[in-house]
Structure 1
Amino acid sequence: MTHAMMGAALGLVFTLALILANPAVVELLNHGGRAAAYVFVATMVTTFAIGASLTGVVFILNEDKDS
């Protein structure tokens, strides 16, 4: 669970950095409206959370094998 929360936080930070660093993303989000911005942020956060969760599972399984 903690890996998913860390991934969500990292995804949110990465999304904010992407929006601030890339004017093309800002332009696309402006044309898409509020819903497009919510979908973009939710997609990024979910992607990072799933990736971090899967990585956490791999770490936990490998840790159990070493013990």
Structure 2
Amino acid sequence: MSATRAAVIGGFVVALALFGLLEVLARRPGSRIPTFGDVCAYVMQYEVGRVPVGRIGVFGFWWWVGWHFFAR
């Protein structure tokens, strides 16, 4: 494994750990930090006119993740 690949994998592991820590902090009683579900709900309700831009954006993000990490 090259050093570059190890650094990228390490970066993703650190980002995932920070995301998990943020979610744990958000779920404490009385916390003012929104949970991941709250953020997704807020983004998905965004509309421009009658076009659900938030839902399209979330769908596009999941499509991108699937294309780059799961399609091989």
TM-score, scaled to structure 1: 0.40
Higher relative contact order (CA 8 A, sep 6+): 1
TM-score, scaled to structure 2: 0.38
The structure whose residues are more often helix, as a share, is 1
